[in-house]
């Protein structure tokens, strides 16, 4: 069997790099978080300064907001782990303990499937975020390229890597600002990626816990060595097995509840920022009359926000589905062949499974694919209201 470390190597490396890994030495974690925070300050100070230079320009103010809202989200994600170190350590420890408790090849395959899902997500997400940041920032070079390829009577206006007031002449110091932006935003994006990868790893793991419980209940009364023949032995061994699976289901519910309690408040803030950010960005797109490059950047920004929101909604939907499927798997088994005492335990699990586990933002917004469309509709409504005042 492959080591479980193979499936968590990416999330371990990226979270250790940003100080989010709960088992790091305190000194190393503080240093890396401080470095990440300092990097964010070098970005957010020009963004806030740009906001103050706007004065009464509404369009300018909205342009500034699209810039620093993402920085605030990154800061929130980084400190969500730092302020919940003990809880995150407990979630991570639970993950490792469950791997050590794997006994059969079937259990291993289930764990492997969901751990593989989280590893693939982390790999794709790291590449996507790194390329997206570099592409977005590199679009500011287009005016310089056009000045060489298709020169005009005068130089084209400078397009900053991100909206900000840099306290120096932007054209003269453009390339210094550009390389600082690339490096700083890649570091900030590493903090965002570490948060999202660890979150997805936890969600995939709790889904594997529900899948494991469903598998055990479905195959409890079958003899796997004899082509699924129903057994007739309902002695203490079966009752103990049923009790053990009931305990495993309870552990899955506790894990899901702990995950919900840890992230619900940060997600509430993130969802508020995302909804406002999408609305303002859509407004910025409609106001870019002639600047095609700037319009493309805003479109890419909106797409990035939607992809991030979709990932969260997809994982939330997956948790809901897996928690509900436990009841269906029990019902499709031969539970009626069990003893009365065992049936009572199974009924308790079925009653718990009727009520789905979920992830929410502030106990109000539940992450699901249906709610994802609701956010889009809300953002469009806010955009329509803002556009009516222009």
Give the closest residue to 29 by CA, choosing from 263, 269, 265, 191.
Answer: 191
Whether residue 244 is predicted with pLDDT greater than 90 in this model: the reply is: no
Whether residue 329 is predicted with pLDDT greater than 70 in this model: the reply is: yes
Q: What pLDDT was estimated at residue 239?
A: 72
Q: What pLDDT was estimated at residue 375?
A: 82
Tell me the average pLDDT of the chain: 83
The pair of structure tokens assigned to 134 is 């570099």
Whether residue 184 is predicted with pLDDT greater than 90 in this model: the reply is: yes
**Percent residues over pLDDT 70 in the chain:** 89
Asked whether the beta carbons of 313 and 369 are under 8 A apart, the reply is yes
What is the rounded distance in angstroms from the CA atom of residue 213 to the CA atom of residue 325?
Answer: 10
Q: State pLDDT tens for residues 197-207.
A: 999 999 999 99
User: How far does CA 305 lie from the centroid of its chain?
Assistant: 12
DSSP state of 152: -
Q: What pLDDT was estimated at residue 231?
A: 44
Give the closest residue to 216 by CA, choosing from 253, 257, 244, 182.
Answer: 244
Q: What pLDDT was estimated at residue 221?
A: 61
Q: What pLDDT was estimated at residue 389?
A: 62
Helices (H), the chain: 9-18, 26-54, 58-82, 85-100, 105-138, 142-149, 174-218, 236-287, 292-331, 340-354, 369-388
| Cβ contacts of 18 within 8 Å, gap of 6 or more | 32, 33, 36, 78, 190, 191, 194
- The whole model's pTM is what? 0.88
Asked whether the beta carbons of 39 and 74 are under 8 A apart, the reply is no
Q: What pLDDT was estimated at residue 319?
A: 93
Average pLDDT over residues 147-169: 81
Q: State pLDDT tens for residues 39-64.
A: 999 998 888 888 888 765 667 777 77
Q: What pLDDT was estimated at residue 263?
A: 93
């Amino acid at each position: 069997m492959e080591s479980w470390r193979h499936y968590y190597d990416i999330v371990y490396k990226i979270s250790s790099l940003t100080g989010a890994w709960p088992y790091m030495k305190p000194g190393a974690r503080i240093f890396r978080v401080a470095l990440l925070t300092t990097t964010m300050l070098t970005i957010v100070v020009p963004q806030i300064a740009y906001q103050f230079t706007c004065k009464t320009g509404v369009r300018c103010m909205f342009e500034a907001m699209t810039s620093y809202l993402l920085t605030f989200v990154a800061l929130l994600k980084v400190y969500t782990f730092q302020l919940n170190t003990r809880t995150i350590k407990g979630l991570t420890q639970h993950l490792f303990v469950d791997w050590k408790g794997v006994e059969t090849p079937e259990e291993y395959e289930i764990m492997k499937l969901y751990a593989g899902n989280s590893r693939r997500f982390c790999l794709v997400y790291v590449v996507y975020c790194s390329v997206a940041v570099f592409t977005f920032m590199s679009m500011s070079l287009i005016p310089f390229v056009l000045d060489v390829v298709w020169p005009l009577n005068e130089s084209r206006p400078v397009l900053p890597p991100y909206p900000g007031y840099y306290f120096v002449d932007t054209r003269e110091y453009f390339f210094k600002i550009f390389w600082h932006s690339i490096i700083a935003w890649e570091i900030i994006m590493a903090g965002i990626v570490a948060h999202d990868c660890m979150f997805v790893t936890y969600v995939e793991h709790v889904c594997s816990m529900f899948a494991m419980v469903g598998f055990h209940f479905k195959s409890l009364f079958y003899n796997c060595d004899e082509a699924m023949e129903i057994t007739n032995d309902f002695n203490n061994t079966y009752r103990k097995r049923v009790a053990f699976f009931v305990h495993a289901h309870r552990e899955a519910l506790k894990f899901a509840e702990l995950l919900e309690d840890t992230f619900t408040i940060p997600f509430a803030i993130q969802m508020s920022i995302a909804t406002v950010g999408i609305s303002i960005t859509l407004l910025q797109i409609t106001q870019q009359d002639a600047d095609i490059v700037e319009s493309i950047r805003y479109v890419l920004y909106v797409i990035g926000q939607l992809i991030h929101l979709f990932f969260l909604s997809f994982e939330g939907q997956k948790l809901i589905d897996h928690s509900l499927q436990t009841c269906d798997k029990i019902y499709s088994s031969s539970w009626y062949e069990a003893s009365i005492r065992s049936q009572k335990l199974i009924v308790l699990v079925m009653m718990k499974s009727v009520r789905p586990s979920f992830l929410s933002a502030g106990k109000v917004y539940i992450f699901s694919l249906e709610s994802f469309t609701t956010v889009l509709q809300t953002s469009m409504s806010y955009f329509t209201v803002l556009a009516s005042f222009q």
